[in-house]
Amino acid sequence: MARVFHPCLNTSQTHIRMEAFGQRFENLLTYHWNATRPTAANLGQLNTELNAGAIPLFRGLVGNHVTFRELYSRNIDTEVAANSTLVLPPGTFGLRTGLPVALNEACGLIKRTGLTGYGQHGRNSISGFVENDMDGNSVGNVLMTLLANLLLQFLATRVSGLFIPAVAHIPRAPGGIGTSNPVTQGLVLDNFTDSQKTRLTGHGR
């Protein structure tokens, strides 16, 4: 069954695509734009900037069992839209060494818009850690610093201010049209590792 496309006005997204142990996964970044609709060239610039700024930091906090495959960016205001793919060189691995931690163990990077209601906050779940950086079910100080630095890269405006970090609200009802709002605050949730989807018991909200 084909997936239904739900447009989101004035919005682009970047997929950071990775692989480990034959399993493919990704992190998704959302950007709001105002009057100027990005072109494929603009989206290519976005990929280039992320590859120069965010990807080195991302590689620096995950294990060398993680392969960074590509960056894929596209506008999501229409079903057929401008897009750009940056394929990363073979051997673009994470830089941490040690025994891998299960991929479902993740730390949350939280994004808030300052507004209330559904679709006004977002989360990037970061996984791919190694045991050397873990203390039970929490991460050490070194990894916390690396996560905070990565968050700053995720919250940076891109391509001369064209792409503004945002959270998207995409209705799933037929005919629904989504919107996005700029992020006003970001934080590393805490030093606990949780599942990709939810907080574990005793880890707060």
DSSP line for 17-86? EEEETTEEEEEEEEEE--SSPPPHHHHHHHHHHHHHHHHHHHHHHSBTT-EEEEEEEEE-SSSS--EEEE
Check pLDDT > 90 for residue 12: yes
Return the pLDDT at 171.
82
pLDDT band at 200 (very low <50, low <70, confident <90, very high): very low
Would the pLDDT of 2 be above 80?
no
Residue 61 has pLDDT above 70, yes or no: yes
CB atoms near residue 34 (< 10 Å)? 10
Task: Output the pTM of the full model.
Answer: 0.91
Over residues 138-147, the pLDDT tens digits come to 888 888 999 9
- The whole-angstrom separation of Cα 82 and Cα 137 is 42
- pLDDT of 198 > 50? The answer is no
* pLDDT above 90: percentage of residues in the chain: 72
